[in-house]
């Protein structure tokens, strides 16, 4: 299945291109020759069973593990760069557990994150007022009224939004989000999906996710990984109809859900 008929360059889009990405841990290939083209303006979801290699792909692209092959963004090979260089190149990520400074305020968290693009001497100078890019990020993530609250007092979903805001102030053009709605309420998941749609028009957003309802509601493109390789890619409807995907992933989810319902019924 072909997602596009013209190349990203012809469409005038930014994109992250991954070719032949392989990650080897002492002889064990966690990722094996993965090819992905991740386009600006589309919410691209990576799904698959635990251990499929999804997070390892993101770790390699962001410099946390060593990978071979190619991960090209704006004519730079990310696999040859250090983590801080990758951040400055416009690549940002979140983790399964929000990594915010809990004792500092929402505003302070955003200001510190924004410092990645300020000169070192500028970091120690007192500044009057709040930078416009911080104000814009506060508004985008819906935390303007909580700007002076310690980050540690935020609800779970709000911490995830703050982390996304920290990527916004870094001016991340590629956002790699690892299970951003895990543990969220239905309302928080919906707000998160709408947030990603709003900010995704001018960015490349890649989401690792297990919540299939969230995937169905918000994914433009879905890539299914299995045992370190790409099993399938396409629209939500195409992925759901794919027999291989049903066998190795979606079918297991249905079985797990049915087992949970039976167990809950036994305890009722």
In the chain the domains, ranked by start, together with CATH numbers, are 8-90+173-238 (3.40.50.300), 102-171 (no CATH)
Confidence of residue 253 (pLDDT cuts 50, 70, 90): low
- How far, in Å, CA of 228 to CA of 214, rounded? 23
pTM: 0.85
Long-range contacts of residues 29-33, Cβ cutoff 8 Å, at least 24 apart:
29/228, 30/56, 30/228, 31/56, 31/57, 31/60, 31/67, 31/228, 32/227, 32/228, 32/229, 33/69, 33/229
Residue whose tokens read 């969220």: 184
Confidence of residue 258 (pLDDT cuts 50, 70, 90): very low
Confidence of residue 23 (pLDDT cuts 50, 70, 90): very high
For 59-78, write each residue's pLDDT tens digit: 999 999 999 999 999 999 99
Query: What is the average pLDDT value for the chain, to the nearest integer?
Result: 87
Q: What is the mean pLDDT of residues 24-46?
A: 96
Long-range contacts of residues 235-243, Cβ cutoff 8 Å, at least 24 apart:
238/1, 239/47, 240/216
Residue 97 scores a pLDDT above 90: no
Stretch among 141-145, 239-243, 264-268 having the lowest mean pLDDT:
264-268
The reported pLDDT for the residue numbered 120 is 45
Backbone φ, ψ for residue 188 (5° rounding): -65, -40
For 172-216, write each residue's pLDDT tens digit: 999 999 999 999 999 999 999 999 999 999 999 999 999 999 999
């Amino acid at each position: 299945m072909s997602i596009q008929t013209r190349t990203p360059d012809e469409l005038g889009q930014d994109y992250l291109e991954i070719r032949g990405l392989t990650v080897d841990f002492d002889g064990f290939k966690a990722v094996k020759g993965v090819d992905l083209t991740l386009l600006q303006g589309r919410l691209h979801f990576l799904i698959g069973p635990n251990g499929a290699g999804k997070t390892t792909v993101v770790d390699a692209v962001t410099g946390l593990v060593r990978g071979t092959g190619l991960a090209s963004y704006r004519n730079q090979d990310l696999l040859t760069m250090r983590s801080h260089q990758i951040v400055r190149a416009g690549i940002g990520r979140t983790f399964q557990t929000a990594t915010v400074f809990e004792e500092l305020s929402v505003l302070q968290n955003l200001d510190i994150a924004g410092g990645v693009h300020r000169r070192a001497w500028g970091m120690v100078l007192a500044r009057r007022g709040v930078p416009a890019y911080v104000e814009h990020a506060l508004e985008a993530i819906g935390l303007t009224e909580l700007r002076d609250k310690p980050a540690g007092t935020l609800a779970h979903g709000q911490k995830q939004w703050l982390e996304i805001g920290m990527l916004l102030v870094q001016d991340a053009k590629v956002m790699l989000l690892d299970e951003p709605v895990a543990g969220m309420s239905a309302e928080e998941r919906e707000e998160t999906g709408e947030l990603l749609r709003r900010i995704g028009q001018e960015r490349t957003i890649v989401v690792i996710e297990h919540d299939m309802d969230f995937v169905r509601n918000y994914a433009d493109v879905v890539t299914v990984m299995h045992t370190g390789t790409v099993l399938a890619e396409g629209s939500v409807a195409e992925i759901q109809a794919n027999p291989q995907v049903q066998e190795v992933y979606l079918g297991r989810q249905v079985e797990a859900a049915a087992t949970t319902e039976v167990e809950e019924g036994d305890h009722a």
